[in-house]
Structure 1
Amino acid sequence: MMRQDSHASSAAKGGRLRRVLDWFGFPRRQEPAPWPAAPRPGEQPAAPPAPAAEENAPAERSAESAPSLPSVPEVPGDQQLVTATLASLAMRDLTLVDSLLAIVEELEDSTEDPELLDQLFKIDNLATRMRRNGENLLVLAGQDSSDSHMEPVPLLDVARAALSEISDYDRVRLGRLPEMFLSGQAADDISHLLAELLDNATAKSPDHAQVVISAQPMGEDKLLLTVEDEGIGIPESQLQALNERLSGAPVLDEQVIRHMGLYVVSRIAHRHGLQVQLQARAFRGLSAHVVVPNELLSSTGPAAAPEAPS
């Protein structure tokens, strides 16, 4: 791989960062600047839209009881029933997946056979991706599965968890990640959001291309998360349409079928007051930028988990 001159590279990165700062309304220098009261100025919080009806029947196994669910949004009776059914099925699936992961972890801890460990790791990754799909159903149903009593989580652990939820995890490189912590109530959701962005980035870029996730502090004690890929990019008109969806209230329509991951991203961003924008890179590929507000950040918390041996 050819390396460009370091000064030119730094200048290019600085230019991209200034454009991102301008995009989100931050000053280029560090002087104080007002930040909008909400990610979407002038918008009243809206109740999450109900998903379209599906033909799935209620749960088949009566022996497996579903965990209690929070109340569903105020929608017409039939839609409310479909929403509650989707949420119930998702919770049942998540319970089964968690049981499967527990068994796999026991097997991983009890064997030293390299070939068996490799197969178990693949099963672990597949089950983790299944869990993400179940969590997507909860997002579609308007359910909040976050735990408000969790302690802050290191940013590094949040990024690692996102990696574990995609198939091409070995193509993702962890860039610079400051020693910061995300609030427990938002850490799982932000990890889920990053997993959707990483999954989209790896799917839309060549098999040999790396995807990089990095972060850096911004003014007013906010954090900028960035996922960069080397794909073919998106036409400007389509990019603008996607950014309008990401910056507004989540809309559930036929377009969601083609961009399910980005719809989940918009729902999570709307829930926690995050700002998400896609930007074409200078030469090829896309950058997905996520601004995390300071109320979800902390400078103290538990130490990050040690990296697993390769």
Structure 2
Amino acid sequence: MSVPAPPSPRRIAKAGRPAWAVPVGVLAVTGGAGALAVAAAPAAARGWTAASTAVGWLCLAVCLLVGSAAGRRAHRSAAAERAEADALKAQLGRQGAESAHLANVTLPMLVKQLRDGAPAGEVLANTAPPSDPQLRQIVHTFASAMEESVHYAKAVEAQRDHAQGQLAQATGEFDMLTKVTMPAAIEQLREGASADTVLATLQWPQNPLLRLPAESFIRELAHSERRAAAAQAASAKALSRVQAKSVSMLADLRDMQERHGVEVFGDLLKLDHSTSQLGLMTDRLALLMGGRSSRAWNKPIVMESILRGAVGRISAYQRVRLHCSTTVAVAGFAAESVMHLLAELMDNAANFSPPIDEVHVYVEERSAGIVVTIEDSGLRMADAAMRRAEESVSGKITDLASLQGTRLGLAVVGRLAAKYGMSVNFRPSSRGGTGVVVLLPPQLLAQQRDPAPQQPAVRRDTAPPTPPLPTAPAATAEA
């Protein structure tokens, strides 16, 4: 590394005449003057004059010699001082040039090489050091500090990259956990899988801050699902016993109606109708708990008997008007479910219409199946209420906690419709209220189109009861 040379000081020109020439000339002149003075003096005073002149000349010579020596010494001191000042100026110039070169060239080059990864010792070895020891010390200290700063910056950058990588991984795992893993785990738990099975089959986050809470949540959810399933199974078993008891009571009542006279026939019909309503409510709860209907039919049942059986299970049976001219029969495996579905819809229409208005039920035979329309004259449903009703009968609501109080009928309709492929839709009624259109697909209808017997054989039961003539006791069965 080249350093610019400092400017050389100017040389001071020396006098051409030597310093001792002036004193010698003065002594010669004074000596000559003294000699003339002695020669011109009288003879009597010539001795004294010569002595005085010699003494004076000697004194003058001594003074001149002493002054000349002092002058020479002063001149040499001044010359030494001038030389020292010139040397200091040269040194300052050289240091200024080295400092400028150090600041503008050396240090930036050191920074670049150190940032590129070169060690400080190698960089200093390849760099021409300044002549000033203090500047050399500054360069060495700067290189060491810069190397340490570069290493620290690289370590911090590596830690930052690692933290960013961990954050990105945690974010990806969290998105995977919330969007894929947890929904799949909840679905498997609701299907009956154990917590250990779910934890073993699904991919869980590697980050313990996410994995441990997720595992705890899955185990707690599995425990809750087991408790809910056990409670639901116990409820279904209890309801099955109530259903069996209700069916037995209906059979006993109908047997009593055949054996007793007219004086107790009306009371037996009231009991029969109340027991039918109780059977509807127990079947409703059993279906929501995952059970099944209390009765099963082994032969097709004509559509009119299906309708009359559905009407006989609601409290407002006297306000229902049936309009059925078809002779189509419903297959035995689906007859009880169709009857229950229509009873829930009729009960809902009767409960949400004025007590003096009638509910009309129409049956039409189409190529797509049997269309049953139930119309009431109540207040027309608002758009939001109709959307909720459509959602309820779609069969998508499976969580019992989402059901509102005792309004369970439409949820039962949705489960039955989804199980047997029936279509249930709401629309405004021409009578001012709300209409419900039910489509029974062809696979639910009996193969033969001949009239089926009005009183088919059943397991201990008879055909669905005909609505009794006396007024039934008031009861509430909200759908």
**Normalising to structure 2: TM-score of the pair?**
0.46
Structure 1: runs of 5 or more not aligned:
1-45, 51-74
2:371 aligned with 1:238: no
What is the 5 A alignment of 1:77-226? 77-114=226-263, 116-145=264-293, 150-220=298-368, 222-226=369-373
Q: In structure 2, what is the Cα distance between the partners aligned to 1:119 and 1:138?
A: 28
User: SS in structure 1 opposite 2:405?
Assistant: helix
Distance of aligned partners of 1:121 and 1:149 in 2 relative to their CA distance in 1, 3 Å threshold:
closer
- Measured after TM superposition, the shift of residue 123 of structure 1 is 0.8
2:255 aligned partner, one-letter code: E
Aligned to 1:303: 453
- Measured after TM superposition, the shift of residue 223 of structure 1 is 1.2
2:405 aligned with 1:257: yes
Distance of aligned partners of 1:90 and 1:278 in 2 relative to their CA distance in 1, 3 Å threshold:
same
- Measured after TM superposition, the shift of residue 99 of structure 1 is 2.3
Distance of aligned partners of 1:227 and 1:282 in 2 relative to their CA distance in 1, 3 Å threshold:
closer
- Measured after TM superposition, the shift of residue 146 of structure 1 is 7.6
Q: In structure 1, what is the Cα distance between the partners aligned to 2:291 and 2:251?
A: 24
Residues 139-176 of structure 1 deviation map (CA, whole Å, 9 limit, x = unaligned)? 01122348777221111111111011001111111113
Q: Give the number of the structure with larger relative contact order, counting CA–CA contacts within 8 Å between residues 6 or more apart.
A: 1
Deviates more, 1:105-114 or 1:203-212: 105-114
Residues 211-260 of structure 1 deviation map (CA, whole Å, 9 limit, x = unaligned)? 1112112233x111111111112112211222133235233333343531
Contact in 1 for aligned 2:304/2:324 (Cα 8 Å): no
Contact in 2 for aligned 1:250/1:270 (Cα 8 Å): no
User: SS in structure 2 opposite 1:76?
Assistant: helix
2:422 aligned with 1:274: yes
User: SS in structure 2 opposite 1:143?
Assistant: coil
2:377 aligned with 1:227: no
Q: In structure 1, what is the Cα distance between the partners aligned to 2:351 and 2:253?
A: 27
Q: In structure 2, what is the Cα distance between the partners aligned to 1:181 and 1:282?
A: 28
Residues 69-118 of structure 1 deviation map (CA, whole Å, 9 limit, x = unaligned)? xxxxxx9321221121111111111122122222222321122234x221
Structure with a larger share of its residues in helix? 2
Distance of aligned partners of 1:169 and 1:148 in 2 relative to their CA distance in 1, 3 Å threshold:
closer
1:211 aligned partner, one-letter code: V
Q: In structure 2, what is the Cα distance between the partners aligned to 1:217 and 1:187?
A: 17
2:234 aligned partner, one-letter code: T
Q: In structure 2, what is the Cα distance between the partners aligned to 1:261 and 1:248?
A: 12
Contact in 1 for aligned 2:357/2:377 (Cα 8 Å): yes
- Measured after TM superposition, the shift of residue 206 of structure 1 is 1.2
Please provide the CA RMSD for this pair.
2.6
Q: In structure 1, what is the Cα distance between the partners aligned to 2:276 and 2:413?
A: 18
Q: In structure 1, what is the Cα distance between the partners aligned to 2:239 and 2:406?
A: 21
Deviates more, 1:160-169 or 1:171-180: 171-180
2:355 aligned partner, one-letter code: D
Contact in 2 for aligned 1:147/1:185 (Cα 8 Å): no
Q: In structure 2, what is the Cα distance between the partners aligned to 1:146 and 1:111?
A: 27
**Normalising to structure 1: TM-score of the pair?**
0.70
Contact in 2 for aligned 1:146/1:189 (Cα 8 Å): no
Contact in 2 for aligned 1:153/1:301 (Cα 8 Å): no
Residues 274-308 of structure 1 deviation map (CA, whole Å, 9 limit, x = unaligned)? 11011111351111111111111132462224996
Distance of aligned partners of 1:165 and 1:146 in 2 relative to their CA distance in 1, 3 Å threshold:
closer
Q: Count residues with an aligned counterpart.
A: 238
Distance of aligned partners of 1:297 and 1:278 in 2 relative to their CA distance in 1, 3 Å threshold:
same
Structure 2: runs of 5 or more not aligned:
1-186, 192-223, 456-462, 470-479
Q: In structure 2, what is the Cα distance between the partners aligned to 1:259 and 1:288?
A: 17
Q: In structure 1, what is the Cα distance between the partners aligned to 2:444 and 2:225?
A: 34
Deviates more, 1:150-159 or 1:248-257: 248-257
User: SS in structure 2 opposite 1:288?
Assistant: strand
